[in-house]
Amino acid sequence: QVQLVESGGGLAQAGGSLRLSCTTSGRTASSYTMGWFRQAPGKEREFVASISYSGASTLYSDSVKGRFTISRDNAKNTMYLQMNNLKPEDTAVYYCAARLSGLAVKAESFNYWGQGTQVTVSS
């Protein structure tokens, strides 16, 4: 079992930056593939980025590629999402998620979820 807690959301202007953190606790948290998803009002939850347990491999959605960077520090049991050049369409609740197997992009492939953190980007 692993527990996930997101932090770092808030309000930013278009073109600005925010960094989200996801702190994990529980057994062998560093063994989990981690991911970020987001959900805007009235829309389905969508994949943002995923990172392997070692941090060596990453995946990004086309909508954030080149603007967002996913990383992790297993010594601190923390995963990050650095978000640069934010756009109003990035406004959503951002969730971190974990799974024991390899990289994935489907929400249903992840077994553990945080409670979410709101990111709002103003134009």
State the pLDDT confidence band at 57, using cuts at 50, 70 and 90. Answer: very high
Q: What is the mean pLDDT of residues 51-58?
A: 95
Once rounded to an integer, what is the mean pLDDT over residues 35-39? 98
Q: How far apart are CA 81 and CA 104, in angstroms?
A: 17
Contact 35, 49 (CB under 8 A): yes
Helix, strand and coil in the chain, % to nearest 5: 10, 50, 40
67-92 confidence digits (pLDDT tens): 999 999 999 999 999 999 999 999 99
What's the DSSP call for residue 56? S
Range with the poorest average pLDDT among 26-30, 46-50, 119-123: 26-30
Confidence grade of residue 27 (pLDDT, cut at 50, 70, 90): low
Residues 86-118: tens digit of each pLDDT: 999 999 999 999 999 889 999 999 999 999 999
